[in-house]
Chains A and B, each alone.
Chain A
């Protein structure tokens, strides 16, 4: 099997598990919506603050959901010694990485689509230029999924992994938060030209971390 067939096998496995367990729809999505609600409690909804800060709040929520998604992705491999199974298989480390990152990206995109509805409804946001918004969101999500999967395996097998991953991951993805928020702001304010450079930054980040992940995942999986 080649790289993409193997990645498709692993991605399919992860997505099928998610479809059965429904962790995204039953736990992570409600979590996201609750966080939006809490933001409304924390920031007075009557003074337009929510509408102005909506992009930032959206992406912070996505980051938090990404942490949960990464944790879930690797808990699945921790049960029943499944990581050993992956190591004993013929699958290449980069294929496993791609497969898991793709699955996480798909799950995050579904989450983001539904969260966007929440933001539009709850924070009264008007989305204008959809193309840079969508492309920026996809690029940001790929970057988050790749980096998350990489740190997920780096912390796999360590006892304190639940608290270690956030400490490691969040500083590294700070540029994604920055770029995605600015891209959203530009798209909402109707100056889409401003968004494109940020979308480019997000794309570069995504490509870079997919590359790093493909290189480093295999060796890290071996040691866990």
Chain B
């Protein structure tokens, strides 16, 4: 088991990342709290020796996404809220940010992960394929389609990326 200091350091360092991943998948704050506790409890109890900070970060992304999927698949989970409420709870964003977030969150679930990991965390398609345990070509396909959908939703050439 990791020390309390080590776990607190990880919470401080990766809390924002876990929060964003939760927002990508979850619809309310209570679920986010559950995921935080689950993810960092696993981290504390894990005996994995991380070779680098990148390794640690990728491990936490995978654990967070799995925890979100488990929670969404839970039979007893029935707490859902509207997308507006999710955005309100996520951050008091300026209108342009809100528009972008809304566009990303309205994508089908399978596209959200790759968009977030590629555009925000700067992972390449091969890296994403390793984290998500997906075929690289599948990741490329998902990214291409996601990009098209976002362009359609955000409109115009202003959003070329």
A binds B: no
A residues near B (Cβ < 8 Å) are none
